[in-house]
Amino acid sequence: MMTVHPTRRPFLALAFSLSILAAGCGEKAAADPALAPTKMTAAEFAPRPLRATRSPRNVAAPRRASPTLPPEPPAAPPTDVTPEERALYRLQCAACHGDEGRGDGALAMELDPLPRDFGSGVFKLRDTKSGLPTDAALERVISRGMPGSAMPASAHLTSDDIATVARVVRRLAFEAKVADLLAEDDELSANEAREIAADLQIPGAIFDVPERPARPPDTPPDRTFAFYCTECHGADGTAADAVERDLKDYAGRPIRARDLTREPLKGGNSPEDLIRRIYLGIPGTPMPETTAMIENLWALADHVLALRADAPADVPVGATIPVSAKEAASERARLPLYPLRGDGDDPLAVEVSVARAETGLVVRIAWDAAETEDGGSAAGAAFRLSARADAGFPWSADGVPISWRANSTADDGVVATRDGERFVVEATLNDDADNARWLAITIWERLRDGHPTRTAFTAWHALVTPE
């Protein structure tokens, strides 16, 4: 049996007290606008605090059951990783999350929301009751990205690479937690800190989304939405008339409630994706867990999807770019870009065509220029292309050979023009162009006064020659 260090006893006592309190309050809770309790198909979850919104049309608070979880066995520290595995993480992730996973990468201050500090032990997209996702959930985030943030999809990575990155993330989270525990308690030994950090690495029981009920709920979906969601997201889902506006993330930094009608949903657009986010919440943000019954989980998901009827398309995961064998490319791909800042605007999209020529890989990019405050359009932009996924992502515009600004001299095989309110740039990549299999694009737009406006990037997209 694992010895409980004195540092941990207060936390265990508090958890025990809260579980008794929650169980004792369960009978006094009013009825949820549903008929049957939520079905927990993989495991029963411990009782949770009641959280819901206040609304003029508020309905009664939901009932809560008081299931208990079986005790978890002591956890072993995450397996150490090799220098080669850490190098893969640094190539793919460190620009935002930092070499040690503390959310302090070179690009971090350009991002809104800021990248996650893995040492916090708080991961947004989980599939468990605890703050940690399972390996499968973590790998899914790495693979598909997190729409609505600067976390891109990783179609260029193999499944083994994705599993490796997930393993490094777990190890960095463990190492950072050990360091934090030792810094907070000078009486704690290194072994005790590792033991505590290892326990905190246990993902917990998985929440499997129950099947859709055979009958719809008695309570109208908009009334259920008013109870659970309007305080932050507003009555119409746009957050325009939200009551709560001074929202903070887990580190006390300002954070916006999502416009559910237009902005990308970080966890996915399927009803099952939405149910996970509604039921489990989004750790590290003001988005709480709920206690909704199964009928209302599905009704809420359906209502949110109905609000999104006119939402722009998400950044495609795994979208490819056709490559023409002729000098002038005839086939084009339209790619939404990931914004580097969460400004709430619709995503910037580029139109891309690629051709293989004797001079190299000819890439043509066109996009609509941004509007300035005085009604004009952006004066220029810097951009970068990269056709080597093994050379890292084209994050920085500083000192790159393939960049352009309006009213400047085009060189290095770059031809830049204006077509009305559109930027059109053609560049030739001749660095091992015959073997290029991927393409990534990053754009930094500039206003007339030189300040950046939109900054965005694609994921890595595979170059495919049509048959």
- The full DSSP string for 335-347 is EE-EESB---PPP
C-beta separation of 132 from 204 below 8 A: yes
92 in a domain, yes or no? yes
Single out the residue in 167, 199, 231 at which a domain terminates.
Answer: 199
Q: Which residue has 């750790």 as its token pair?
A: 283
259 in a domain, yes or no? no
Q: Which of 270, 272, 244 is nearest to 258 (CA)?
A: 244
pLDDT at 33 over 50: no
Single out the residue in 199, 215, 242 at which a domain terminates.
Answer: 199
- Exposed / middle / buried, residue 73 (Cβ in 10 Å: 0-12, 13-18, 19+): exposed
pLDDT digits (tens, 9 = 90+) for 104-152: 998 888 788 888 899 888 889 988 877 788 889 999 999 999 888 888 8
Pairwise pLDDT comparison (371 vs 399), residue with the higher score: 371
Burial 43-68 (b: 16+ CB within 10 A, else e): eebbbbebebbebeeebebbbbeeee
Single out the residue in 175, 199, 223 at which a domain terminates.
Answer: 199
- How many angstroms separate the CA atoms of 134 and 130, rounded? 10
219 in a domain, yes or no? no
> What are all long-range contacts of 158-165, with beta carbons under 8 Å and residues at least 24 apart?
161/88, 163/135, 163/139, 164/81, 164/85, 164/88, 164/89, 165/88, 165/89, 165/92, 165/93
Structural domain of residue 445, as residue ranges? 321-464
pLDDT digits (tens, 9 = 90+) for 228-266: 999 999 999 999 888 888 898 888 888 889 999 988 888
C-beta separation of 292 from 243 below 8 A: no
State mean pLDDT over 377-381: 67
Q: How many domains does the chain have?
A: 2
Look at residue 171 in the predicted model and tell me its pLDDT.
Answer: 94
- How many angstroms separate the CA atoms of 26 and 49, rounded? 10
Domain of 175, CATH number, reads 1.10.760
